[in-house]
Amino acid sequence: MAGGRMSALSLPIESRSGAEFRAYTRRTPVFTLNAGRVLVSLTLPERLRAEHVEFARSLAEQAAAYAVEVERLYRNGGSVGRAA
């Protein structure tokens, strides 16, 4: 990750949590994460560059890896410790 200041946000996933993608014809897409009382929306500038595509691909790859790990943990009994 880039140097400099960084904020951290930990979202506990509940039964009502969700992720949603919305595509629009005349503006950039929006990807939203909803967890409890927190809503995080990923938006893009109107003018896209290669690094925006790279970020979207990385997001998809990391989300897929997360899903595989969650499923593995679930199949092994579903009991896990808290993240470090």
pLDDT single digits (tens) 23-71: 999 889 999 999 988 999 999 998 899 999 999 999 999 999 999 999 9
pLDDT for the residue numbered 36: 87
Measured distance CA(72)–CA(65) in Å, rounded? 11
pLDDT for the residue numbered 9: 87
pLDDT for the residue numbered 83: 57
pLDDT for the residue numbered 78: 78
**Mean pLDDT, residues 14-30:** 93
Instruction: Write down the pTM of the prediction.
Output: 0.77
Residue of 59, 66, 71 lying closest to 83 (CA atoms): 66
Break the chain into its structural domains and give their ranges: 15-45, 47-77
DSSP string, 27-76: S--EEEEEETTEEEEE---SS--HHHHHHHHHHHHHHHHHHHHHHHHHHT
